[in-house]
């Protein structure tokens, strides 16, 4: 495959080239990994999208929201790409493909591009592939890249670390208790959207929204937020209500961050984060070779049977792996 040619076609906005590139990125073959690396260098710095991470528990309405919100954006003339991080892969067919029916309109929209999560259980691998897919979508001229994740374990952090804006989608709570959203997730959110603010659920949504407005106020002030952010708002994905206001707030926040240097600073910090992650993953991979595994097993036995101390055995093993 001619990578220079592929990247030229991507930069010209060729969708088939984009699809091919993502297939290449998702491949686990060593030669494909090298080519993907070359491609990432070639597209680097092209395009400028707003990357929006969207997280929420199953059933909160992510797919319905993406369909409605994405269609609203394409109606405004914007080009929208939708990607997903789904580490569980227990759900049939990956996260978005399974419910493309919920995104029927968007999946037929010429200004939208929807790509399901690669079926890979290892979160590190999914993270790298999604991050690279974001970059090629950006190079292909998309204005908005939406990255969906179902709120389980580490996947929120992964998505927040590749987004300019991280949005938490919530459903109206039954009682007046907060829905067990972990503090760490709250602290990552740039905006909370309480979905399903319609019909019988409207009153509960209003309560939930004001609970979260209060909770957000109690969090430590972050330098990357202007007055009033992070904020909680109500939307109805189904009734297509509140979506325009949500987008206005997102663009206002992004504008402010650009003007105040926080937009670029966040991307820089993310580049550092992913570099460190890649180094760590690379080191861990070195322990996965048959020789390393055998050496580890032997050393563990020595430690278990009292022939060596954990500290010394570890140091010797690491020295041996270096050489
Ligand atoms: N009343 C109401 N129902 C909604 C709204 N948005 C989504 N729903 C319903 O909530 C259910 C789940 O919606 P989905 O969009 O599939 O939710 P999801 O978060 O993508 O779910 P998973 O893909 O399983 O994680 C569906 O029955 C939707 O019709 C809304 O704004 N109002
Ligand atoms: Mg869904």
Tell me: the pLDDT tens digits for 237-284?
Answer: 999 999 999 999 999 999 999 999 999 999 999 999 999 999 998 889
* Cβ of residue 62 lying under 6 Å from some atom of ligand 1: yes
Supply the residue whose CA is at minimum distance from atom 2 of ligand 1.
Answer: 196
Omega into 230 within 30° of 0, i.e. cis? yes
Using only C-alpha atoms, what is the Rg of the chain? 22
* Residue 177 confidence (pLDDT) above 60: no
Residue 163 CA to ligand 1 center (angstroms) comes to 23
95 Cα nearest atom in ligand 1: 23
* Least trusted range by pLDDT, from 111-115, 132-136, 154-158, 244-248: 154-158
* Cβ of residue 150 lying under 6 Å from some atom of ligand 1: yes
Rounded CA separation 217/250 (Å) = 18
SS3 content of the chain, % helix, strand, coil (to 5): 55, 10, 30
149: β partners: 55, 85
Tokens of 156: 């929120």
Residue 219 CA to ligand 1 center (angstroms) comes to 29
Which of 226, 154, 230, 149 is closest to 193 using CA atoms? Answer: 230
Provide the pLDDT for residue 92: 45
Average pLDDT of every residue of the chain: 90
Residue 223 CA to ligand 1 center (angstroms) comes to 34
Is the distance from CB of 246 to CB of 235 less than 8 angstroms?
yes
Which of 13, 78, 15, 10 is closest to 44 using CA atoms? Answer: 10
Position of tokens 């067990």?
Answer: 180
- Cα 83 versus chain centre, distance: 8
* Least trusted range by pLDDT, from 44-48, 99-103, 125-129, 293-297: 99-103
């Amino acid at each position: 495959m001619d990578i220079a040619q592929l990247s030229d076609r991507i930069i010209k906005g060729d969708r088939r080239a984009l699809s091919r590139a993502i297939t290449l990125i998702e491949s686990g073959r060593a030669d494909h990994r090298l080519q993907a690396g070359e491609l990432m260098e070639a597209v680097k710095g092209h395009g400028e999208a707003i990357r929006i991470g969207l997280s929420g528990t199953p059933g909160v309405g992510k797919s319905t929201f993406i369909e409605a919100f994405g269609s609203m954006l394409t109606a405004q003339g914007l080009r929208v790409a939708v990607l997903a991080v789904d580490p569980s892969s227990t759900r049939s067919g990956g996260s978005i493909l399974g419910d493309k029916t919920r995104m029927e309109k968007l999946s037929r929209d010429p200004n939208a591009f929807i790509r399901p999560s690669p079926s890979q259980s290892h979160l590190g691998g999914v993270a790298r592939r999604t991050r690279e897919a974001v970059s090629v979508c950006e190079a292909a001229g998309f204005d908005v890249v939406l990255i969906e994740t179902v709120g389980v374990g580490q996947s929120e952090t992964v998505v927040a670390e590749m987004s300019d804006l991280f949005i938490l989608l919530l459903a109206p709570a039954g009682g007046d208790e907060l829905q067990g959203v972990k503090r760490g997730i709250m602290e990552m959110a740039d905006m909370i959207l309480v979905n399903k603010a319609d019909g019988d659920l409207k009153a509960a949504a209003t309560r939930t929204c004001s609970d979260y407005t209060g909770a957000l106020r109690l969090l430590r002030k972050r330098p990357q937020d202007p007055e009033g952010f992070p904020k909680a708002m109500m939307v109805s994905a189904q009734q297509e209500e509140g979506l325009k206001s949500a987008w206005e707030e997102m663009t206002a926040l992004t504008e402010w961050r650009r003007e105040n240097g926080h937009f670029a600073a966040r991307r820089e910090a993310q580049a550092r984060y992913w570099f460190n992650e890649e180094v760590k993953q690379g080191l861990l991979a070195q322990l996965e070779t048959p020789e390393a595994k055998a050496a580890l097993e032997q050393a563990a036995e020595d430690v278990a049977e009292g022939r060596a101390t954990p500290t010394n055995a570890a140091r010797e093993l690491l020295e041996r792996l270096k050489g």
